[in-house]
Amino acid sequence: MHALHFFRSSFRVELARTAMASAFALGLCTSLPSVAAEPAAKKQSAESSSWGLGIGVLSAQKPYAGIDRDNTVLPLIYFENKYVRVFGPGAEVKLPELNISSSQRIGFSILGKYDGSGYKPGDAPILNGMSKRESGFWAGAGMTWHNDVVDVNADWLADASGNSKGQSFSLGLEKTWRFGEHVMLTPRLKAKWLDKKYVDYYYGVRADEVRADRSAYLGQSAVNSELGIRANYIFDARNSVFMDVGVTGLAKEIKNSPLVDRSTENRVMLGYMYRF
């Protein structure tokens, strides 16, 4: 019985760890809902729903000193209709659009997503002796200005779980080019403001966490920049594969943390999606 209890406990812990890792992986790829967008020339009707299932492999590097690169295999679940879009740990409630002209419109939405920025003391030597930093669920609002030149998107999010009590605001540009019926390329550029509560929670060092090689550090608000590109190859109306590559330049308020020894963090994701 003891062995059975141990097996069940270990299984639950491993299942939870895998789920959290998957959520973290998807949380990093904030542009991935567009991966699941309608790729075929024939658009779905306004009242229809679209489902998709797939699998992805994410390789991501956090900026903490000595931390290993995280390679994760995760399931991908997608659902979208006129009112909502769900992809992985993120969800969007669509609000009425503002139509400016035949070529311009502004979309509004209520957003929610899981953010996997947390860490455990054992994740890297520099984190030993630190208190665990919890990941959390974030909620807020977003808008996108669609036009013929470039899509402009902005969103504000707050830590609804109350772990970091932080807030963020991002402003980004992206443009999708189609090459024939099978290939789509979407480069993006984004700036993301993080308030001091967020930076201090994930990159700060409290007085009781100080040691010889880790001085006290009080985080301040910061602005990170991201450059990335997403590529889709569409086999047919149901099958597609994608690759998403992103590099984030870290603000000095994060680079100056004694926990950090990198000026950038990066990620690469490959995936397959089947649409029903």
CA distances from 79 to 38, 40, 93, 125, 240 (A): 11, 16, 12, 40, 16
Confidence (pLDDT) at 116: 84
Q: Kindly give, in sequence order, each residue whose CB lies less than 8 Å from that of residue 224, ignoring residues fewer than 6 positions away.
A: 191, 192, 194, 248, 249, 250, 251, 254
Sign of CA dihedral 170, 109, 24, 34: negative
CATH code of 102's domain: 2.40.160.40
Residue in the block written with tokens 């999708």: 176
Extract the runs of DSSP E, i.e. beta strands, from 116-238.
136-146, 151-159, 167-174, 177-179, 183-194, 222-234
Question: In angstroms, rounded to a whole number, what is the distance separating the alpha carbons of residues 183 and 239?
Answer: 13
Confidence (pLDDT) at 172: 98
Residues forming beta bridges with residue 171, ordered by sequence position: 154, 191
- Per-residue pLDDT for 77 more than 70? yes
- Give the domain range for residue 71: 2-275
pLDDT per position as a tens digit, 3-57: 334 334 443 434 344 444 444 444 434 444 444 444 443 444 556 889 999 999 9
pLDDT per position as a tens digit, 137-173: 999 999 999 999 999 999 999 999 999 999 999 999 9
Confidence (pLDDT) at 36: 44
Domain count, the chain: 1
Residues forming beta bridges with residue 255, ordered by sequence position: none
Q: Pairing relation of β-strands 183-194 and 136-146?
A: unpaired
User: What pTM was estimated for this model as a whole?
Assistant: 0.82
Residue in the block written with tokens 């994410």: 58
Who has greater pLDDT, 211 or 26? 211
**The two structure tokens encoding residue 158:** 């707050």
